[in-house]
Each structure stands twice: as C-alpha cells, then as structure tokens.
Structure 1
Amino acid sequence: MKFAWIDLRTVPEAHREAVVDAAVHARLAGIVSDDPALLDTLPPTIARVLVAPEAVDSPHLVAVVVDDQDRLDRLTASAAFVHVRDDRTLKLACAAAVRLEHTVVEFADPTKIPLEIVIAAADGAPGRLVTAVADLEEAAIVLDVLEHGSDGVLLAPRDATDVFTLARLLEVTSPPLALTTLVVDGIEHNGLGDRVCVDTCSHFEEDEGILVGSFSSGFILCCSETHPLPYMPTRPFRVNAGALHSYVLGPDNRTNYLSELRTGSTVLAVNAEGRTRKLTVGRAKLESRPILTITAHSPEGVAVSLTVQDDWHVRVLGPGGKVRNVTELRRGDELLGYVATEQRHVGIPIGEFCKET
C-alpha cells in the first residue's frame, strides 16, 4: 500500500495549519518536521516523524540524517534520512534501505536511475522506502518507478489543495477484473477492413493482452505479440487488436474506440487471471487488411463479437493463458473475455437501454 508523508519544514507558517488539517482529514500516513514541539500538537491518528541530526529520545519516529557508513553502522534509531548526491551516498542509501524500518531518500539530481538502484537493492527487505519529491508530477512518477515504485513519498505542499491532490493520487489503483470463459459460436471472413495495432510503451507478459470487442457489453482478451512467430520477430509491446470501430477497455471502467487511441492514451493490460495495470500508448497503427469476425457467448448468454485481422498470427487468449490463433478457432472453443453489466455513452458506463447487433 503506497503512502505519503507531508514535509512541514519548508511550508510557510501562513499555510501550515491548513496543510496539517488537510493531511489529517485526508488520512495521509505522516507529517515530518524538525520541530518536536510542533509534532507534539498533532493527533495520534497520524505518524509524527522528527528529522534530527542525532538519535534522540522522543515519542515520535526519529529519522536521523546520515552522511557516512560509520554513522549508519552506529545508528540506534530505526529510520534514516539520506541525501543522495554521488556514488558514495547512493551506496549509503541502499545500505540503509536494506536494514532500517524507514529510509527517507532525497536525490540531488532529477534522473530516476539512482532511485531505481535503491529500489532494486531494497527488494525483499522488510523496511519501507520514502522518496522526497519536488511536486505532484514527480510524486506520480516516483510511485511507479520500476513498476514497484517507492513505498512512500515525502512532499512539501504549497497549500492544502496539494495535500488533497496527493491523497487522490494515492487512491489511483487498477483493480482486478472478473474474467469469464466465452464459447466460440463461429468465425466469418469479411473481406477487407481497417485494423489497428496498439503499440504501448511497456512490455506485455506472455499471458497479458487487452480487452477488445465490437459490443460495449462484451470483450475478448486479445493476445500481445510476446510469443514467437516464424518469419517475423516478437514485438512484446504490441497487440494486433482489431478493427477500428472496436471498443477497447481502459482504466476506470471506460472504453475508447480503437480509432481514438493516440500517443499518450492509456489502455488496460489484463492477464489471464484478471490482474490489470495501466499502460501508455506509444502509437496506434491503422492499416487495411483482410478481416474476420469472431462470435461467442458467455455462460449467461451474452453475445460477444470481435473483428480482427484475418491472419493466423493474430491471437487471442483462452483459459489458463492458452494462446489461440484466430484463423484456427472452431465452434465450441473457449476464450477468455469480460462481460460488462452497463451500457455506455461516449465510453462512460450508464444505466440505459441499448441493443447492439
């Protein structure tokens, strides 16, 4: 569970009370200060973190500023604050993250490579890593670095509005989907049409794809090009998704037409167990190709349809992540899909009558 601490050390006094009230109201994890008297006034519902040059006897969580290995080795507190500005202090941050309950790191340079190194070094360690960030945009990046991200972020907000925005940022998750087994009714060759390849900025896993369908009520899990093919290299960032009219399921239970995807759009990667994650689209490539339509139905009798390129190298996923070539599908074959309960208007779920055929 990601969390955030609010750094009061540089917050102007005129905004401090409002920032504290916002942090408590938004249920952020902690407040950081170098003033123990200020921390004494805070309610017990929020962690109080004291940044100090030495370990001191305090009722608060004490994060001692550490600048060398000898100081770290002698540290009696359970938390450290490390300013990373070179290779020596980077190694110090890694060592602290491995052994301490909390390690706060602040980086002198904007590159995220040092943070990646600390995250990798601390992988599997029981402690929690907190990264100081300059603003909300950097907070969003830091929380996703190496897909794992920093456990927490430390932000000095400009005002209470920043606190509430940060709280909403922490709430952004990609919940799992309850996939269903679809039974193929048949395939039909339809001649020529325009199909879209979705090239993302990330690698897909072998059992991942995106959910695409002709109807907003049902989707088929389209396989990424992570599996070897004769005559061409794998492209593990790509899904040969379907005809341009098709819906693709994205974050927040919203859909887009494949024709609407652009650089910077987001889609939802879904694996065979229903786990999801947001991916950024790098390019959507539309080309004219022979097409075919797969028709299927869910156990409840919901009709599902998907039109894709008519070629054996285009694939969809079946139960257990089994890879199925679309041209080899036969009546009775099983596919993985998702059935939506709502109709949609401009991609947004809405409770209205709508029939698609």
Structure 2
Amino acid sequence: MQKLLVKKEQPSMVTRASAKRDQGWNRSTALLPDLWYDTRGIANAFDADSVFSRAAREHYSGVLVDAAQLDKVASPQFDRLLKVVAVSNSEDIAAVKKLGGAKSESYVIMHQDAEMLAQAKKAKLRNCRDINVVDRATLEASCQNSAGTDFLSVSFKDPTNIPLELVVAESQDSPLVVLKHIPDPDNIDDALNSLCVMEFGVEGLVYSPRSHAVLDRLNAWLTERQRSELKLEAATVESSVPVGMGIRSCIDVATLFTDREGMLIGLTSSGGIMSCPEVFDLPYMDLRPFRVNAGSTASYVYGMNNRTNYMSELRAGSQAMIVGHDGKVYKAPISRMKTERRPLRLITARFDSGVEVSVMMQDDWHVRLYSADGSPRNLTEIAVGEKLMAYQAQPGRHVGVPVNEFIEER
C-alpha cells in the first residue's frame, strides 16, 4: 500500500507516472495522476488569486508554458512543479537549458516534431511529444513513433475514449508517460473518465480548469482516492435474536464482488460489520455476485470520505464503498435497491474498546457476515462469543457527516 499525501511537494509521493517510469509500472487506482496546467493564453494565470495559483498549491504537479513565459515559472514558488515548455525552435531549447541550469531535470521540452525532441534529449532535457489524434493515421503515429520520448500529451478530435484506450494499451509495457490533453476547461466529466479508461486510466492529464468550482470537483475526486484504506478489527458477538417482520434492502452494485470484499453496515454511527456479498455457494439458487443482502432500511451504509447514508436514501446511481479484507476500499455505482418485507434478526457485538456495534438483517441462513478471519458465517448460525470483521467509527452524524457532539444510540 502506497502512502498517499495531499500535497505533492512531499518527496515520498508516488504517482501513476513515477510508478511507471521508475518502478517498471504498477497500475493502481490508488495512485494519483500527474496533472499539468496549461497557462498559455490565460492573461491572469499567474495572479495570486487565479485558479492556476491555487492548483499549483494543491494536486497539480506540472505547468505548461511557452518560451515567452519562462520568467514566470522561474519563481521559487514553482520549484516543486515540472515546467513543461512548448518550444518553437532550437533557440528556445537553449534558453530552457540555460535557465534550468542545475535544475534542468525539472524542465521538459514539448513539441510535435521528432527532430526537436531529439535536440532536447541531446541537451539532456526530458521531452514530451504533443499530438492531436484526428484519424487512424494520427492514432497509429501516436502509438508507434514515441521511442525515446519521456511524455506523450495526446488530444482527440472526437468525444470518445476508444482511441485513448488503444494508446494506453500500446504504451503499458513502456516507460512512456501518457497524459490526455483536454482543451475544454469545463469538461470535468471527460477528465475524470479519462482517469478510469481501461480500468486504471492514463498516467496524467493536461487539464486547466478556469473556475474554482470545477477545480473543487477535481480535488474532491482526487481526495477520495487518497482515503484508500480503513482499519478493520474484530468485534465479539454478544447477542443474536430474531426481532420479527420488517423492511430490508439488498444493494446491487455495478461491479462483481470477490470473496474477499463486502460492505460495512451498521445500526449506529459507532461502526459497521462486514456484510458478505452473494458470492458463496448456495445449494438452492444461482449466485448474485453483484449483491449484498444488506439489512433494515434504517441501517447506516458506510461510504467514502467518512460519510454514511441511511439505506433508505440509496437508489440507482448512488455510490457505494466496497471494502476488502485488507481494509482497502473503492467506489462503485449502485444499480438497484431491492426492498422487501422479511423476518429480521438483530446481532450485537462489541469491540475490545468497549464500543458496541450492531446490524439488523434478514433472518435467514443464506445471509452471511464475515468472521474476523475472513470466512463467511451464515447469519442464523452465528453464536455468542464469535468474532466478526468490523469497523469502528467515531460516533455522531448529521445527514451522514461526522459531528463532534454527545450522542447516545441504542
């Protein structure tokens, strides 16, 4: 598990690009992308209150300028950023080399022409090929003519990620770092989708929001991926009793669970117990590997960013947090909430800290919870004294948001 940090100035930061370039590539959605901000043509880009100035302090790792802007990025406040310079001629390359001096490794030369990129290499500067894919020929060129290139910035004429998938596939076994260039500063959906193509996405983006609201959305997406692990611990069962008829929901998600994943469900804000998906053998029906038989509709469903939802609030399109036995988490969209009246059973357990956690689920043998060792336990066979896999949370919630206040739930 890589430790992920909010600010990229930390020397231990590992991104998708650095993992590919320096470690032979370990594709992972837990690694953050490289983000370059294109300041060309933005008159106030370097103002103190500009969107770029804020982005440079947050998740962005690079700034794209032309040769006329070199003096702007020479400021010490941009020392941590990669300076990507779109050059026009050999004189521009020489100017970058002179300005970079001992810090030449923090400069990258960008151009479309292979000869100019070769000159950058000769000057011991890293290079970035800039290409716009408009047809099959330019797509093939982007895939085939990048030998000796450190970065590839690629944009596309058409609003489809199919050609991007081909570029990603062709480059996955090479050290080439691929960044998709998104010219529309408001197209945050394209940016986020590009970070997920072929499951793991490109290594980075050249994307330059002009509004703080769009940058907020990008930051929220990135921050969500930094919280990629929970501390799971054992809770000892203290009671298991039938409580009669009630309404419960199954959560069907747009993914396929493994036998080492589940969801955290609880009746209080003190924590949840790991519910099993329907991936384990049942003698009387086919498996439903997309489903968790989750529990009573008043239950908390633990989600990303330390948020919760009541089960009754969830619907198709809501986001669910999938949790692995190792505590690693990821997000998946909900396809369906299946709600019916069923007999229910209440199970309470207690952490070593003394905090109680509980679930109310369909009172049937085929519904399962994970034991502390990760094995599935049929609900009606769980006995007092058994240990279940669970998550302890700080109690107190207001509309799903943690609140530091006195609260008693029982």
TM-score normalized with structure 2 length: 0.76
SS at match of 2:276: strand
In structure 2, do the counterparts of structure 1 residues 20 and 265 end up closer, same or farther at CA, with 3 Å as the change threshold? closer
Cα drift, residue 323 of structure 1 = 1.8
For residues 305 and 356 of structure 1, the distance between their equivalents in structure 2, rounded to whole angstroms, comes to 11
Q: Alignment partner for residue 38 of structure 1, among 69, 73, 76?
A: 69
Query: Would you say 1:229 and 2:282 are equivalent positions?
Result: yes
2:193 to 132, 138, 141: 141
Distance 2:117 2:109 in 1: 14
**Counterparts of 1:103 and 1:146 in 2: how far apart (Å)?**
17
Shift of 1:110: 1.4
Amino acid corresponding to residue 64 of structure 1 in structure 2: H
Residue 287 (str. 1) matches residue 287 (str. 2): no
Amino acid at match of 1:61: V
Do the aligned residues in 2 keep the contact of 1:22 with 1:163 (CA within 8 Å)? no
Q: What's 1:13 paired with?
A: 43
Is the aligned partner of 1:49 residue 2:102?
Answer: no
Q: Call closer, same or farther: CA 1:41–1:196 in 2, change over 3 Å.
A: same
Letter in 2 for 1:343: G
Contact 1:3-1:170 at 8 Å conserved across structures: no
Q: Which amino acid aligns with 2:64?
A: V
Partner amino acid, structure 2, of 1:38: Q
Contact 2:279 2:289 in 1 (8 A): yes
Shift of 1:5: 0.7
Q: 2: CA distance between counterparts of 1:334 and 1:146?
A: 39
Q: Which amino acid aligns with 2:192?
A: A
Identify the residue that residue 134 of structure 2 maps to in structure 1: 85
The structural deviation recorded for 1:270 is 0.8
**Alignment deviations for residues 267-308 of structure 1 (CA, whole Å, 9 cap, x no partner):** 211110111112222221101122212221112222221111
Q: Which runs of 5+ in 2 are unaligned?
A: 1-31, 98-106
Is residue 61 of structure 1 aligned with residue 92 of structure 2?
Answer: no
Cα deviation 1:93-114 (Å, max 9, x = unaligned): 3456786432212122212233
Structure 1 CA distance for aligned equivalents of residues 214 and 404 of structure 2: 34
Distance 1:188 1:98, change over 3 A: farther
Inter-partner Cα distance in structure 1 for 2:146 and 2:318: 35
TM-score norm. by structure 1 comes to 0.87
Alignment size in residue pairs? 353
Q: For 1:97-246, what aligned pairs fall within 5 Å after superposition? A: 100-123=149-172, 125-133=174-182, 134=184, 135-159=187-211, 162=214, 166-173=218-225, 174-246=227-299
Deviations 1:227-254 (A, max 9, x none): 3433333322221111111111111211
* SS of match in other structure, 2:317: coil
Are the structure 2 counterparts of residues 346 and 86 from structure 1 closer, same or farther at C-alpha, using a change threshold of 3 Å?
A: same
Secondary structure of the corresponding residue to residue 189 of structure 2:
helix
1:267-346 → structure 2 map (5 Å cutoff): 267-346=320-399
Within 2, Cα distance between the matches of 1:335 and 1:13? 59
Distance 1:164 1:281, change over 3 A: closer
Alignment partner of 1:233: what SS?
coil
Q: How far, CA to CA, are the matches of 1:98 and 1:319 in structure 2?
A: 50
Are the equivalent residues in 2 in contact too, given 1:2–1:151 (CA < 8 A)?
yes
Q: SS state of the match for residue 187, structure 1? A: strand
In 1: Cα distance, 2:383 partner to 2:148 partner: 56
Report if the CA contact (8 A) 1:197-1:238 is conserved. yes
Aligned: 1:4 with 2:35: yes
| Superposed CA offset, 1:45-97 (max 9, x none) | 22211234778444330123269xx9999995642223233344334434567
Question: Which letter maps to 1:13?
Answer: A
Give the CA RMSD over aligned residues: 3.0
- In 1, Cα distance between the equivalents of 2:54 and 2:117? 34
Distance 1:234 1:97 in 2: 46
Measured after TM superposition, the shift of residue 316 of structure 1 is 1.6
The whole-number CA distance in structure 1 between the counterparts of 2:36 and 2:173 is 22
Structure 1 unaligned spans of 5+: none
Is the 1:186–1:329 Cα contact (8 Å) retained in structure 2?
Answer: no
Distance (Å, rounded) in 2 between the aligned partners of 1:89 and 1:206: 44
Shift of 1:353: 2.1
Question: What is the CA–CA distance in structure 2 between the aligned matches of 1:243 and 1:160, rounded to whole Å?
Answer: 40
SS at match of 1:319: coil
Give the drift of 1:116. 2.9
Separation in structure 2 between the aligned mates of residue 351 and residue 287 of structure 1, nearest angstrom: 35
Shift in alpha-carbon separation, 1:179–1:97, aligned structure 2, 3 A: farther
- Asked if the contact 1:15/1:160 (under 8 Å) is kept, the reply is no
SS in structure 2 of the partner of residue 259 of structure 1: helix
**Stretch deviating more after TM superposition (146-155 or 114-123):** 114-123
SS of 2:326's equivalent? coil
- Which of 196-205 and 155-164 deviates more? 155-164
Distance 1:258 1:165, change over 3 A: closer
